[in-house]
Structure 1
Amino acid sequence: MEIPLDLARTLAVVIDEGTFDAAARRLRLTPSAVSQRVKSLEQQLGRVLVVRSKPARATDAGAAVVRLARQLALLEQDALAGFGLDAASDRPVSIPLAVNADSLGTWFLPALARVSERYAVVFDLHRDDQDFTAGLLESGTVMGAVTSQATPVAGCLVQPLGVMRYQAVATPGYVARWLPHGPTPEALALAPRVDFDRRDDLQAEYLRELGVDVEHPARHFVPASNDFATAIKLGLGWGLLPTFQSKTELGRRELVHLGGRPIEVPLYWQQWNLGSALLEAIAHEIGAEARRELTPP
């Protein structure tokens, strides 16, 4: 049994774009033609490959086909580059990557900018918590990920990036109002905190070490890295910020440390093991940027 490559690429576009109509526009086909291609591939493989929802979602079998299509597109780009052909003008290769919000909002993008100066590439970034980005690698949704998982995902390479060090901080005004006698467990049980979202466990981990019931304090939810930091700097609540998001304000005494042990989150880069020059370049630049900005592992 063979997988027709044009049909596999069509399925990948449907998943990338989210709907058959959007895929048709990108492929310059009719929606009916796109649907027929996917149906033909499903019939040949004897598997349902896509859940026809909004957005369209690959089944487990479909994810394997999408992964194949993306691997082939990457290897094709490498081959064209080896021939000295520049594919940037009409068809740059799309590289889906997963990254946690704090990395995306601070140190990650300069690495990709350097890669884009040298290669015909566009990036499709998926933002998720570092504890969950490895799952996007396993499903074939992305080719590389910043993750807290040190154990390689099957078929992937892994390299340590460094450590993001977080410290609990708040504004002097917030401390005067909510923690006038210091960040005691009793005061922190009442003081509002800022969480990124309902999966953000950093502030809860800090509270647990102090013996505070993590469900008791009121919470603001601010699901964007820079906005999360801004909320703390405006005095909405206390929270844990990485060093490079707080050092300027700490130096000006616009923020103060609440004390306690810094929380350190080791980060790793995992990517598909394809022997691709482009993926190797991405890994190199991400590793170099991490060495400049993160705490050594």
Structure 2
Amino acid sequence: MRFDPDHLETLLAITEEGTFEAAARRLHVTPSAVSQRVRALEGAAGRVLVRRTTPVTVTGAGEPLLRLGRQLRLLAAETSAALDGTGTADLPVAVNADSLVSWFRPVLSAVAERGATALRLFVEDQGYSHDLLRRGEVVAAVTDDPRPVQGCVVEPLGSLRYAAAATPALVERHRAGRGVDWSALPMVVFNEKDHLQDDLLAARGASRPPVVHRVPSAADFHEAIRRGLGWGMLLDSQAQPDLAADLAAGLLVRLPGARPVDVPLHWQRWRLDSPVLGLLSDDVRRAATALRRPRPSPAGAGMRSSTS
């Protein structure tokens, strides 16, 4: 079974732009030509590949072709760069917000030094990052799942450590003996996918308090806790020095009885002989030395996912 590269590129453009009309503008063809290419690709595959929704999405049958199209695009760019230095490699990568604001940042510097590479970051929850890999929308992802997506290879990176923290004043207002009243202590969550706080509450036999604040930005999440809005799980000092500084200054305290939580991280990437993707993986490995710990805690839970 053979597929026209132009038709595969059209499938990519449709999913990236969201509509047939926007894809046509990007490809410098008419919307009718885009429709014809999609129908020809569906004819070759013998399956419906595209849902004509707004935005356009691919079906399960279309996902392998989306991956193939992106692989061809990457390899073509690398070939052009090798021949005449004109190719730009497109590297869409999924990474969670806490990684992006901490240990992952040296990766950005390394990519910037090489040039000829367009890094497109999808800041997404680890469960959704698997979906992005399966659909072929990203070439690699930072995830907490060691099970490889089909067509991918996976390797451990280390772990992010989180600590439950709040302002001293907030803790004192909700004292219960030597500990705190977890069921009354106001809580801050990153978004609806953030279950770090809930997992800690469950381990202590407590339920969510009446007041739960939502702050979907990594920097503002920390600031909200610093200002006494509620307690939350913050990156510990190994990955992010802000917590150590706040603890030393007395702006925050660790919640009594709450042990740190280690979240294991893994790097998943396509099983593709791509020099550019290989260099990116090397960058990630070097940056991940900041995550090395002797042994992850079994209490690990999901990572925070996206920024506002």
Matched, 1:28 2:28: yes
* Aligned position for 1:14: 14
**Deviation at 1:4?**
0.6
Please list, as runs of the form range in 1=range in 2, the aligned pairs for 1:229-240 lying within 5 A after superposition. 229-240=222-233
Q: Distance between the aligned counterparts of 1:238 and 1:24, measured in 2? A: 49
Please list, as runs of the form range in 1=range in 2, the aligned pairs for 1:1-297 lying within 5 A after superposition. 1-83=1-83, 85-87=84-86, 92-179=88-175, 181=177, 183-184=179-180, 187-213=181-207, 215-243=208-236, 244=240, 245-259=242-256, 260-292=258-290, 295=293
Name the CA shift for 1:249/1:198 in 2 (closer, same or farther; >3 Å): same
Q: Distance between the aligned counterparts of 1:21 and 1:183, measured in 2? A: 60
Unaligned residue ranges in structure 1 (runs of 5+): none
Cα deviation code 1:194-219 (max 9, x no counterpart): 11122211101111221112x44421
The AA in structure 1 aligned to 2:61 is A
- In the superposition, the TM-score normalised over structure 1's length comes to 0.91
Q: State the SS of the aligned residue for 2:103.
A: coil
Q: Distance between the aligned counterparts of 2:44 and 2:151, measured in 1? A: 26
Q: Distance between the aligned counterparts of 1:35 and 1:272, measured in 2? A: 29
CA contact (8 A) 2:185 2:209 kept: no
Q: Distance between the aligned counterparts of 1:294 and 1:87, measured in 2? A: 38
- In the superposition, the TM-score normalised over structure 2's length comes to 0.88
Q: Distance between the aligned counterparts of 1:44 and 1:25, measured in 2? A: 25
Name the CA shift for 1:12/1:79 in 2 (closer, same or farther; >3 Å): same
Q: Distance between the aligned counterparts of 1:237 and 1:57, measured in 2? A: 39
Q: State the SS of the aligned residue for 1:137.
A: helix
Q: Distance between the aligned counterparts of 1:39 and 1:109, measured in 2? A: 42
CA contact (8 A) 1:155 1:272 kept: yes
CA contact (8 A) 2:187 2:209 kept: no
**Deviation at 1:283?**
0.6
Q: Distance between the aligned counterparts of 1:209 and 1:133, measured in 2? A: 27
Q: Distance between the aligned counterparts of 1:178 and 1:120, measured in 2? A: 54
Query: May I ask how many residue pairs the two structures share in their alignment?
Result: 290
**Deviation at 1:29?**
2.1
Q: Distance between the aligned counterparts of 1:130 and 1:182, measured in 2? A: 36
CA contact (8 A) 2:101 2:218 kept: yes
Q: Distance between the aligned counterparts of 2:40 and 2:175, measured in 1? A: 65
CA contact (8 A) 2:12 2:66 kept: yes
Same amino acid, percent of matched pairs: 43
**Deviation at 1:113?**
3.2
Cα deviation code 1:154-199 (max 9, x no counterpart): 2211121111000000112222333475543xx1101110111222
CA contact (8 A) 1:132 1:147 kept: no
The AA in structure 1 aligned to 2:264 is P
The AA in structure 2 aligned to 1:95 is L
